[in-house]
Chain A
Amino acid sequence: MIILQTDRLDKSYGPVHAVNHLSLTVEQGQVYGILGPNGSGKTTTLAMLMGIVAPDSGTFSWFGQKPSPAVNRRIGALIETPNFYPYLSLEQNLKIVCRIKGIEEKDIPRVLALVGLRERSHSRFATLSLGMKQRLALGSLLLGDPDVLVLDEPTNGLDPEGIAEVRNLIRQVAGTGKTILIASHILDEVEKVCTHVVVLKMGNKLAEGRVDGLIQGKELVILEGEDPEKLKSALAESDLVESYRQTGEEFQIALKNGVNNAELNKELIGKGIILTRMEVRKNRLEDQFLELVKQSNPAGL
């Protein structure tokens, strides 16, 4: 079942093209990551999907329905910062959410316990630490046990322990068959919790697909030899090679599962073939991931 479908969603802020004709499909049970550096249009996309920013053009549907407040009530969403009334207690704040969504107030202790804030239920929101605020926001969107969660940088501002907790929580929730849409600029995070991913950069979709297929895809080995003809026939005979393609003197080789480039090298040496170049090129998407992450984290990883 399709949970979310967007059709050429487009949004500009003045000269900045925040989201460029973005089309996505999210199916039930997927943990769908939107990966991209800061300013790539992740938050704008989610803001459009939740009705707080109007798209310039394009359409989207949730559960096959047009966007509406009733649709939003079926979704637990956290976009950017956790927003609550600072002068109200956690419980009072969650009561308001319950009223809006038509959820029984008796669900409040359950979610507060789930995010470890049960003892703080009578504290004012303003007295919480950043990590606790983030956890409260997560608790708030779990109220009423919605089938779909929308999370925007859910581990932002958390300490390593908090990050681990939140990721565990997401995996735990995902394990119950819920659909989760999660925006992040951290490759590691997407890799750890998502099943599917779309990569955005400057509002453009660079790639999308299954996380395991895209990130852990086969490596490409690039070879050049002193004698291309001899190299070609050796590759054609080799049991290690799944396929190869020749471009000029350069061969791009996909190895069979479980084979590494050293084994291939050994075999070629055994046949007396001298290589002038051997390069392992990672999957194209991972290159993009790294490039994106580099941009959002100039110090490098």
Chain B
Amino acid sequence: MDTSGDSVKVGFLNSLSGTMAISESTVFDSLSLAAEEINAGGGVLGKQLEVISEDGASEPTKFAERAGKLIQQDCTAAVFGGWTSSSRKAMLPVFEANNSLLFYPVQYEGLESSENIFYTGATTNQQIIPALDYLAEQGTKSIFLVGSDYVFPRTANKIINAYAEAHGMEIVGEEYTPLGSTEFSTIVNKVRDSGADAVFNTLNGDSNVAFFRQYKSVGLTADAMPVVSVSIAEEEVPGIGVENIEGQLTAWDYYQTLDTPANTAFVTAFKDKYGADRVTSDPMEAAYTSLYLWKAMVEKAGSFEVDKVQDAADGVSFEAPEGTVTVNGENNHITKTPRIGRITPDGLIETVWEAPEAVEPDPYLETYDWAAGLS
């Protein structure tokens, strides 16, 4: 990296084209906001941030290639971005081989920890397990699993199956559809006939639109059979249509409606910059937080050098919109406060349940006895 001048380069690597662009461009927006704020506040160690933005084009190979460019050619001090698990898996060897840093802002399936990646989204014990705890608390006895066919839903459902077995719940169905699939009549009928108490939804992207429309069309409601979704945030609600999803549940660590001073400032700044009709979501908040966490690590280390930043990382914390987050130096994840939300008629998400305190990250689920056989 090059830290000789008045500025230091950081890389933003998001898909600005392709199927993921609709989600990842929002992360790019909140990263840009954070960079602007940091520069206005005097930069990092007195140096202004110079952002180099690259397009991941929704392709894992492109992510790997562009990551290589940001590290080797642009000499960036750290890179922020990635969304899909495949994009992260593709970039991981690049960051490890070059001993460089990646900040990854999206909830994911866990079972990973690299010294070169900081994970600022939720791992499974900060999203999926709290959602299951919530369902158990509500008296749910049977669950139907619906997911897209890729690594996150499959791993999540493996965990849910183990949880259910240990907690006396029954999994009455488990269905996968290819990413982007929009035909759900068979699955929705199976869900209805199963008589499950709740549905756990790990569908991604456009599939959610079709799923919720058809779910409603066969007469299923949030009251009779609630759906808990882990990939639907504020940004996705208008696409699905509020009327189709109102009252359904979500599991995240951040909602736009959170009432913290840091969140009020974040939401106000975001709307001022991008327009009053824009919303903020969990991955956007995690991305925003990641840039500030890197700043805090660098300032604690007193250096941009990767080894020193890694050494300084443990215990660094930031007053994030979701509440105080602290870096766990052992697995490079951060503490987060799980929250169950309900989609309101105005398309936002209100918190209906919140963990009493921030939860320590446990990507390999080592502290859960019932999860012993999983990894």
* B is a partner of A: no
